[in-house]
Structure 1
Amino acid sequence: MHSGASAIPGGAQTGNGCVAISASADGNGGRAPRVTGCHANCALTRLQCQPRRGGGVERVARAAVVLLSGGLDSATVLAIARAGGYRTHALSFRYGQRHSVELESAKRLVQAIGAAQHVIADIDLRVFGGSALTADIEVPRHEPGNSGAGTIPITYVPARNTIFLSYALAFAEVLDARDIFIGVNAIDYSGYPDCRPEFIEAFTRMANLATRSGVEGGAQLHIRTPLIALGKADIIRQGLALGVDYALTSSCYDPDATGRPCRGCDSCVLRARGFADAGIEDPLLRRFGLAPG
């Protein structure tokens, strides 16, 4: 795993009698307030107590793990978690995918949106194959308006979200984090079995049985899915409202070496439809000098 973190000095008066005495980040503009002097009835629910050097306790922004692929959905989720006041720890994977474009996008998004830490974990799912994203299988192309919905596509990576969430769960335990954010949404519901609400509910139950806090009666862990009931257009609108620059994202299953999208794979078609439905030009197309549609 690779990670990095550094501190940014600062301080500000907050509500409820709390004084923010510093902020931490990874040098990417992300600020996570550390607070002292809290009233007993402090309503800042994204804070938690931790021991202070020299004695006593201080309140810090609550940690959350955010699964960050570098795509449109995960970028929006990172922005949502940041806006919610969490100290975000982004987690990406080098899992044997056919290109590195999405990981480069993830790095750019952390720089732009901010995170306390960005960890890239290495897992080689090519040893199993079974997907056009991890094996020598051609990525299907579709005509605009036909995403191939209704069947599980060959771009589904077997058990990928189960594996990714398991890593996120381990990371959350180390961080003493109660929240894991993942960008599953309604658009993926019919195509990918590990994007369904039933899967998330089942994994949450398992996570609270398989962790130390679950056994010791500590705080319950939550899998946060803020996009679960949203379509692509609504996701895009929400992200833009939070300042997400979608030109930094990569959705394509088979881009060229520069990150230029193929515009024919399922993911490209769904992305194009989302921007069209939102009535907004995709800034990624503008970045590559491509015409909409």
Structure 2
Amino acid sequence: MKKEKAVVVFSGGQDSTTCLFWALQNFSEVATVTFDYGQRHSAEIECARKIAEELNVSFKVLDMTLINQLSANALTRNDIEVSAQEGELPSTFVPGRNLLFLSFAAVYADAIGARQLITGVSQTDFSGYPDCRDTFIKSLNVTLNLAMDKQFVIHTPLMWLDKADVWQLSDELGALDFVQEKTLTCYNGIPSTGCGECPACQLRNAGLAAYKERKSAGELV
């Protein structure tokens, strides 16, 4: 474990919670930062708060609702249907979200003396979101370091993992049951296995089923 302080961009979902457990194994002190961007369900923020309290890590909420003044999307508007059409960005894409979140996470990290940033973005399961790509993260890391004259490191433990791999990682971290039972990924605000119908639930649950099948078949490496 590195004797360094880290900040996890944290939503209380499967991916960021797995990243939180990863951070707890790799850094001596871990803080979380959660963003209120007017998401459909305040339950997401409360879920993140409860997880942070249970794992005894600091929890900070930053107000990013200004995003709603600039764009409309299915994650912040109940009157927009969750959908995805070939060749177009999904209706759940929030323009600039990860750019803003990671930038403000860096400002917060600097304020508390942290240089390590962790985010759960994945290019494998990025759902068409351009701000989940590895090239974007690397570019932003350079930009933050230049803009703030500090040496931040953005860690992306899930970048090349599909959802089955993410479940495997949570299992290896001793957190599979915790992640399965206490996180909220569902677009309809239902914790654990969720509604089972929205794209987030389908991706999460299919990944878990694939991981369990792989594990029972002894195919893990």
Partner Cα distance (2:87, 2:170) in 1: 27
SS for the counterpart of 1:97 is coil
Correspondence for 2:184:
250
Deviation at 1:237, TM superposition (A): 1.5
Checking the alignment, whether the CA contact within 8 Å between 2:193 and 2:205 is kept in structure 1 is: no
Checking the alignment, whether the CA contact within 8 Å between 1:89 and 1:118 is kept in structure 2 is: yes
Deviation at 1:261, TM superposition (A): 2.5
1:29-52 deviations in whole A, cap 9, x for unaligned?
A: xxxxxxxxxxxxxxx6x22xxxxx
1:131-169 deviations in whole A, cap 9, x for unaligned?
A: 11112433336xxxxx86764200011110011001101
Checking the alignment, whether the CA contact within 8 Å between 1:139 and 1:265 is kept in structure 2 is: no
Letter in 1 for 2:144: A
SS for the counterpart of 1:184 is coil
Correspondence for 2:69:
127
Correspondence for 1:182:
119
Checking the alignment, whether the CA contact within 8 Å between 1:150 and 1:191 is kept in structure 2 is: no
**Distance verdict in 2 for CA 1:187–1:148, change over 3 Å:** farther
- What does 1:41-190 correspond to in 2, within 5 Å? 46-47=2-3, 62-115=4-57, 117-124=58-65, 125-140=67-82, 151-190=88-127
Checking the alignment, whether the CA contact within 8 Å between 2:184 and 2:192 is kept in structure 1 is: yes
Question: Does residue 279 of structure 1 match 2:216?
Answer: no
Correspondence for 1:12:
none
Partner Cα distance (1:150, 1:261) in 2: 28
Checking the alignment, whether the CA contact within 8 Å between 1:178 and 1:222 is kept in structure 2 is: yes
Deviation at 1:259, TM superposition (A): 7.9
Partner Cα distance (2:86, 2:185) in 1: 17
Deviation at 1:274, TM superposition (A): 0.6
Partner Cα distance (1:165, 1:90) in 2: 12
Checking the alignment, whether the CA contact within 8 Å between 1:63 and 1:87 is kept in structure 2 is: yes
Letter in 2 for 1:123: M
Checking the alignment, whether the CA contact within 8 Å between 1:185 and 1:230 is kept in structure 2 is: yes
Partner Cα distance (2:36, 2:55) in 1: 21
State the percentage of identical aligned residues.
36
May I ask how many residue pairs the two structures share in their alignment? 209
Deviation at 1:260, TM superposition (A): 7.7
Partner Cα distance (2:6, 2:27) in 1: 10
Partner Cα distance (1:63, 1:164) in 2: 18
Partner Cα distance (1:164, 1:272) in 2: 27
Checking the alignment, whether the CA contact within 8 Å between 1:133 and 1:139 is kept in structure 2 is: no
Structure 2: gaps (5+ residues): 214-221
Correspondence for 1:22:
none
Deviation at 1:104, TM superposition (A): 1.7
TM-score by length of 1: 0.66
Checking the alignment, whether the CA contact within 8 Å between 2:6 and 2:27 is kept in structure 1 is: no
Checking the alignment, whether the CA contact within 8 Å between 2:37 and 2:63 is kept in structure 1 is: yes
TM-score by length of 2: 0.86
| Higher RCO structure, 1 or 2 (CA under 8 Å, sep 6+) | 2
**Distance verdict in 2 for CA 1:251–1:150, change over 3 Å:** farther
Partner Cα distance (1:159, 1:166) in 2: 11
Deviation at 1:190, TM superposition (A): 4.8
Checking the alignment, whether the CA contact within 8 Å between 1:133 and 1:253 is kept in structure 2 is: yes
SS for the counterpart of 2:33 is strand
Letter in 2 for 1:264: E
Partner Cα distance (2:127, 2:87) in 1: 6
Structure with bigger strand share is 1
Alignment match of 2:201 (pick from 249, 268, 281)? 268
1:112-143 deviations in whole A, cap 9, x for unaligned?
A: 3331x1101112122223211112433336xx
Partner Cα distance (1:104, 1:260) in 2: 17
Structure 1: gaps (5+ residues): 1-43, 48-61, 142-146, 214-219, 281-293
- Note the aligned Cα RMSD (angstroms): 2.1
Partner Cα distance (1:136, 1:77) in 2: 28
